[in-house]
Structure 1
Amino acid sequence: MRFFTTEGPVRPDRHYSLPPLSRWNLEEVLDLINQEKYFLLHAPRQTGKTSCLLALMEHLNREGRYRAVYANLEIAQTAREDVARGMRAICGTIAAAARLYTGDERLFAWNEEALAARSAEGMLGGLLESWSQHSPQPLVLLLDEVDALVGDTLISLLRQLRAGYTQRPTAFPQTIILCGVRDLRDYRIHASSEAEPITGGSAFNIKAKSLRLGDFSAGETRTLLLEHTHETGQVFTPEALDRVWELTQGQPWLVNALAYRACFEIRTARDRTQPITRELIDQAKESMILERVTHLDQLAHKLQEPRVRRIIEPMLAGTEPGEVAEDDRQYLVDLGLLRRDGAGGLIVANPIYREVLPRALASGPQDSLPRIAPTWLNPDGSLNPDALLDAFLAFWRQHGEPLLKSAPYHEIAPHLVLMAFLHRVINGGGTLEREYAIGMGRMDLCLRYGAVTLGIELKVWRDGAPDPLTQGLMQLDGYLAGLGLETGWLVIFDRRTGQPAIAERTTSSEQISPQGRRIQIVRA
């Protein structure tokens, strides 16, 4: 029986999958190869790049016009600045790939000849020259994980490819495709004697084009999910199909991960006579996030990078990122953390990432939280919003000051501490959804616990700015209207200098919004 896979590359005999070559503009790729071009393929991790390269290799070899070989260069990453070690690893990998995919054993001998004649710094060029001269068809070399290489090893690779470029196709590969997460400009090329990186283009100015492998479309997402129905007879409800697309926006790993958990891990769903429902998809989403599965953990780790923080921190705070280099913005798009909306602005790529990012940042404060008794629950286990407000005020007065220091992003430290507190609340069986309002100076939270839905808006009062109460009430009206609620919280964190201690300035009051809603105002 086939199943959804997140480990890649896909095997159609074992995994539900879309035809890999259907995700490229294959005609464009073949035109580039026919024109003897060298080009790049890049996309975020776990989006199907390797599956596409392997499918392209199989397609080319089946056609017979070219001899194509795929090689993963990640093994050479540990060489870092040791060029001799790195080049031996790269050439050995290519030789092993040629033996595996084409049965050609000669590359091992050519490696030794190239090393003796040109030393390690030139052996890749020597290998590719000998191989091309003895190949009955022009060579197409597909090099994966190239951006895993760093420093002088990467520079040597790129410059040897550039040096042999003019000899193609009779004495060098007709086409070389470099594949990785990042576009060439973000390759980690550093010269040991310089503080600033050398730009990618200076070492590889023969690149004809950079192709980006996109996420699934809504139609492709649905087609993939329905593979399971065709195989097992188990149906997805229309709401479940819509929910997968809504949560993932077609990110391939997320689509497969949600579907695998819903169809194969949740016990009740193993009965193939029972449909996969929206509730099962939401349950799968929550378990993925709580477990910090590897894919999501890798994204969370990126939040520590300064160039990521410069953009993500103001986005979470609801403020404009300000002057940020285009390369930094594109870097987050290339990583898959952000995407451009229809108007060209940057937004978090999908709702799951939107939830993971602040939850990861709040993990420090959450781990630092004291033991809190669930005084917000009624005797029947339902949520009491008034008791929750009292519990938060008591918690904030006592623990807010020290916990702010445990938050990794200073500008949104209060937001992270509040979210850490609310995560303790929902651990009993609720959810916390987040909306970022970039440029509007706010973050919106929606806490759902049983039959209770609570809309919360967070604002920050900073030096030189007016009291955000009036604007916050108007904005909260709009948010609550979308949720269909008549009550909510407006939490204003006072971050102005010279204010009394948190325990002294934290207060709450009730006020009617411009549209007649009953709002609890928290000043913290």
Structure 2
Amino acid sequence: MPHWFNIAGPCQPDIHYMLPAAARLPEVADLVAQRSYFVLHAPRQSGKTTAMLALAQELTAAGTYTAVLLTMEVGAAFQDDLGAAELAILNDWHDAATWQLPAALHPPPWPTAEPGTRIGSALRAWANASPRPLVVFLDEIDALQDAALISVLRQLRAGFPRRPQAFPWALALIGLRDVRDYKVASGGSPRLVTASPFNIKTRSLTLATFDQADVAALYGQHTAATGQIFTPEAIAHAFTLTQGHPWLVNALAKVTVEQLAPDRTQVITPALIDQAKESLIMRQDTHLDSLAERLREPRVRAIIEPMLAGQSLGNVPPDDLRFVQDLGLVRLDPTDGLVVANPIYHEVLPRVLASTTIASLPKITPTWLTSEGRIAAPRLLDAFLAFWQQHGEPLLSTSPYAEIAPHLVLMAFLHRVANGGGTIEREYAIGRGRMDLCLRYGADVFGIEVKVWRDQRPDPLPDGLTQLDGYLARLNLATGWLIIFDQRRGQPAIAERTRTEAAVTASGRIVTVIRA
């Protein structure tokens, strides 16, 4: 049967390319043997369900355990009715167990119990009836909130001392967050502390992303099945762009081999991987589109907004930093500190944040284009100045992040310029004090640096010229724009304060300074 790269739901070994589950979670076998209750957390669509379902099937097939993957997600629709949530969960558990397990290992009929005790009663009855030790992996645990979540955790804790005869031998909670953040998700007090309803955990594991060898192994399965070759450079480039995020690794390959290079004799090169990346970003598939919801969460905004603005983090609680890392949006780089998790997210985050502003833009006639389809720099400058003076003020209010509202309005304008024939590259990071933008349109390349003038700070012009000089040198350009957004209190209206002036960098590059 043909195999495919999977981007929707758990992998199925008979039709999907996939890596061995045990290799991704080598610690789990020992935790199960030790009768441990533990947590597995990792970003969405990183392979948690695929890996744990495969492990459950392997444990059951080995003949030692009754191992099953069950979901808590169906209870999320009944957050205000604990009893209804428990019944929905147990009905789904019954269906999942009868699908995953041989008949001799099916659970017994669930006992009648009062709301708030049904999960514990069902697990107790199943552990008593099972001819083998019962191992339960509870997926999507953090889909539950409020009373339903706390009740389930307390029922698990209450049954823990009775294992293995009268409660599951081993159990895992699987979700996006570590257990310390479950109550945050529920909208309760700031976070669960050590006296939480799940203080029985032995370990908190996370599912590692793919390394470059994993990407090569996964793509190698396609080569073995079809003969289509990924060059070593293409594999390395795919790893660089994704940093091993499993969904992104699969999505890049799926777009490449199914849409861009369906001819199996065509060799997959870095250029094709780049085309696939652009296609993913433009399509805003569900995985990438779901970032928008996360970016509006206050704890996420507290990290992402200063990153985009080039500011330092300030007094951010360590738990908030870990939370955003757990979501897979950022990572700690050994040399660069906190960075966006991968180059694709690096591009997607500002684009998602600018999407409302882009949608709010009025019609803009491309007066900057020559008859040959090139961009005339003076016309582009005039068009931006006219746009900013007329529309800048109202558009600033469309931005979800006030600190970088001017950046997002500028990017929205540049997206209109690039639409259909160009690309925008962005460079930003914590503590850089700026954002760098590169507009590429055919043979035309424009380097732009964005600075913000804030209260009680000196004019950023000198630093901006030095920084832009280095950026233009990397782009091999002799000219560029330095845009200084004046965000000091008490300034005149945008239409009155916007002006341009000429400047020269230390190495002689000509710069147009736009004070906006």
Short-chain TM bin: over 0.9
CA distance in 2, matches of 1:311, 1:320: 9
CA offset at residue 424 of structure 1? 0.3
Q: Which moved more, 1:226-235 or 1:165-174?
A: 226-235
CA offset at residue 198 of structure 1? 5.3
Q: 1:200 to 1:362 in 2, by over 3 A?
A: farther
Match of 2:257 in 1: 263
Q: Which moved more, 1:400-409 or 1:456-465?
A: 400-409
Q: 1:402 to 1:191 in 2, by over 3 A?
A: closer
CA distance in 2, matches of 1:360, 1:291: 12
2:180/2:192 contact within 8 Å kept = no
DSSP 3-state at the match of 1:121: coil
CA offset at residue 107 of structure 1? 6.5
CA distance in 1, matches of 2:452, 2:143: 40
Q: 1:432 to 1:56 in 2, by over 3 A?
A: same
Match of 1:276 in 2: 268
DSSP 3-state at the match of 2:290: helix
CA offset at residue 196 of structure 1? 5.9
Match of 1:204 in 2: 198
Match of 1:100 in 2: 99
1:38/1:177 contact within 8 Å kept = yes
Q: Which moved more, 1:290-299 or 1:81-90?
A: 81-90
Q: How does 1:17-28 map to 2 (within 5 A)?
A: 17-24=18-25, 26=26, 28=27
CA offset at residue 388 of structure 1? 1.6
Q: How does 1:59-458 map to 2 (within 5 A)?
A: 59-104=58-103, 110-111=109-110, 114-115=111-112, 118-188=113-183, 199=193, 201-266=195-260, 269-343=261-335, 345-458=337-450
Q: 1:201 to 1:20 in 2, by over 3 A?
A: farther
Q: Which moved more, 1:370-379 or 1:166-175?
A: 370-379
CA distance in 1, matches of 2:286, 2:194: 29
CA distance in 2, matches of 1:415, 1:126: 55
CA distance in 2, matches of 1:227, 1:196: 45
DSSP 3-state at the match of 2:483: strand
- The amino acid that maps onto 1:359 is R
Q: 1:222 to 1:520 in 2, by over 3 A?
A: farther
Q: 1:101 to 1:237 in 2, by over 3 A?
A: closer
Match of 1:15 in 2: 16
CA offset at residue 295 of structure 1? 0.5
- The amino acid that maps onto 2:118 is M
1:23/1:214 contact within 8 Å kept = yes
DSSP 3-state at the match of 1:340: strand
- The amino acid that maps onto 1:165 is F
Match of 2:47 in 1: 48
DSSP 3-state at the match of 1:288: helix
CA distance in 2, matches of 1:307, 1:405: 21
Could you list the per-position Cα deviations for residues 83-142 of structure 1 after superposition, in whole angstroms to 9, with x for gaps in the alignment? 11122222223332332222348977541xx32xx4132222222222222222211111
2:41/2:206 contact within 8 Å kept = yes
Q: Which moved more, 1:47-56 or 1:429-438?
A: 429-438
DSSP 3-state at the match of 1:208: coil
CA offset at residue 248 of structure 1? 1.1
CA distance in 2, matches of 1:199, 1:190: 14
CA distance in 1, matches of 2:449, 2:78: 50
CA distance in 1, matches of 2:257, 2:12: 19
Which residue of the other structure, out of 452, 459, 462, is the alignment partner of 2:454?
A: 462
Q: 1:250 to 1:197 in 2, by over 3 A?
A: closer
Unaligned runs of 5+ in 1: none
DSSP 3-state at the match of 1:460: strand
CA distance in 2, matches of 1:325, 1:235: 47
CA offset at residue 180 of structure 1? 0.8
2:426/2:438 contact within 8 Å kept = yes
Could you list the per-position Cα deviations for residues 192-239 of structure 1 after superposition, in whole angstroms to 9, with x for gaps in the alignment? 9x7666548521110111100021112212222232222222223444
CA distance in 2, matches of 1:29, 1:480: 50
DSSP 3-state at the match of 1:263: helix
CA distance in 2, matches of 1:92, 1:105: 19
CA distance in 2, matches of 1:302, 1:191: 15
Q: 1:102 to 1:430 in 2, by over 3 A?
A: same
Q: How many residues align?
A: 515
DSSP 3-state at the match of 2:183: coil
CA distance in 2, matches of 1:239, 1:390: 42
Match of 2:515 in 1: 523
1:184/1:201 contact within 8 Å kept = no
DSSP 3-state at the match of 2:446: strand
Q: 1:88 to 1:105 in 2, by over 3 A?
A: farther
CA distance in 1, matches of 2:470, 2:338: 22
CA distance in 2, matches of 1:364, 1:220: 37
2:42/2:207 contact within 8 Å kept = yes
DSSP 3-state at the match of 2:511: strand
Could you list the per-position Cα deviations for residues 302-323 of structure 1 after superposition, in whole angstroms to 9, with x for gaps in the alignment? 1111111111111111001211
CA distance in 1, matches of 2:109, 2:115: 13
1:18/1:224 contact within 8 Å kept = yes
Match of 1:496 in 2: 488
CA distance in 2, matches of 1:170, 1:510: 80
Could you list the per-position Cα deviations for residues 29-67 of structure 1 after superposition, in whole angstroms to 9, with x for gaps in the alignment? 111111111001111110100111111112211221211
Q: Which moved more, 1:371-380 or 1:476-485?
A: 476-485
DSSP 3-state at the match of 1:346: strand
CA distance in 1, matches of 2:234, 2:476: 22
Could you list the per-position Cα deviations for residues 482-507 of structure 1 after superposition, in whole angstroms to 9, with x for gaps in the alignment? 22333221111111222222222222
2:142/2:177 contact within 8 Å kept = yes
Q: Which moved more, 1:33-42 or 1:127-136?
A: 127-136
1:147/1:182 contact within 8 Å kept = yes
CA offset at residue 80 of structure 1? 0.8
Sequence identity of aligned pairs in percent? 54
Could you list the per-position Cα deviations for residues 368-394 of structure 1 after superposition, in whole angstroms to 9, with x for gaps in the alignment? 211111122221112233322222122
